[in-house]
Amino acid sequence: MSIEDLYADAEKALMCPDPVEKARQSIELYDRWGLLDNSEQALLAKSPSTSTVRILEAPGRPEKPELVDSRKLPRRGMGSEAGRIGLIHSLAHIEFNAINLALDAVYRFRGMPALYYEDWLRVASDEGEHFLLLHERLLSLDTHYGDLNAHDGLWDMARRTDHDILVRMALVPRILEARGLDVAPPMIEKLKRLGDKQTAEILQRIYTDEITHVEVGNRWFRHICQQRELDGTVVFRDLLKGQNSAYLRSPYNREARLQAGFNEEELSLIKEMEAEYKVAGLS
């Protein structure tokens, strides 16, 4: 089945409330895009749509998990099965929201080159595969996504960046998703030590893909800065001032971040902004 309306199809998947079906629709949408030649992709990117861009308070999602303040979520160590289930559930929730964020990047920001939509459809497909892997892992442990509470922090950032593609690219892939590059390797090693090879392998797959996803965000952030004749480092610093610096948490995985397209100046800036945030007493 071909694609006749890219933005309507992205919106359909974005608003699908069933997590498994949303993941499958995202994978299928990228597969369908890949069947088109370059001229067809370019035409679809420029074509008018039956879908209207609107502010979304929430994407399509199930009634469960219940969304609560992140401070009310219990902290569990990975040493117990309950702790590992909590981790896997948390990761599944992150990947579910990552699907939504990637689809929203397609649905919301129009008039970009066809390669932009290629990139974000691929990200949505990858995140869909990640969710399905975690979903199956939860089922193998006699539980499923929605059994535990979760928080709405990722989609909250989507709402706060829905007005400008530059802000979205700066704060979602380069800040929120890049955080995964820092925390995943220690978790993978700990899971291996605990003998949970299955979860460790899933997290390794997610980590490897996430490097490419952050690179996509870096590349399009720079593209838009160049298009608007802006200094990307200055823009990034301005966006990180105040509460947005709260998302910065050291230590940073320098090697992975460089591989994902950050430069040394940006890595120094991130450390500087985190330090300023702490000195200001905001943390």
We report the CATH number of the domain holding residue 139 as 1.20.1260
pLDDT at position 229 is 98
pLDDT at position 246 is 83
Structural domain harbouring 117: 6-43+74-217
Residues of the chain with pLDDT under 70: 281-283
Indicate the number of domains in the chain: 1
Q: Which two tokens stand for residue 12?
A: 């359909």
Q: Which two tokens stand for residue 164?
A: 């400008």
Question: Is 27 within the bounds of a domain?
Answer: yes
pLDDT at position 200 is 97
Question: Is 48 within the bounds of a domain?
Answer: no
Question: Is 58 within the bounds of a domain?
Answer: no
pLDDT at position 281 is 63
pLDDT at position 282 is 55
Strands (E), 114-168: none
pLDDT at position 205 is 98
Which residue(s) pair with 150 in the sheet? 67
The model's pTM is 0.95
Helix 114-140 vs helix 19-34: crossing angle, to nearest 10: 140
Question: Is 271 within the bounds of a domain?
Answer: no
Q: What is the separation, in whole angstroms, between the first and last Cα of the chain? A: 50
Contact between 49 and 5 (Cβ < 8 Å): yes
Q: What is the largest CA-CA distance in the chain?
A: 56
Q: How far is CA 186 from CA 190, 252, 272, in A?
A: 6, 12, 24
HSE-CB at 273 with a 13 A cutoff on CA atoms is 23
Question: Is 197 within the bounds of a domain?
Answer: yes
Distance of CA 158 to the CA centre of its chain: 10
Question: Is 65 within the bounds of a domain?
Answer: no
pLDDT at position 241 is 85
pLDDT at position 245 is 84
pLDDT at position 278 is 82
Question: Is 143 within the bounds of a domain?
Answer: yes
pLDDT at position 239 is 92
CA dist 116 and 119 (Å) reads: 5
* Residue 75 falls in which region: left (phi positive, over 0), alpha (psi -120 to 50) or beta: beta
CA dist 100 and 12 (Å) reads: 11
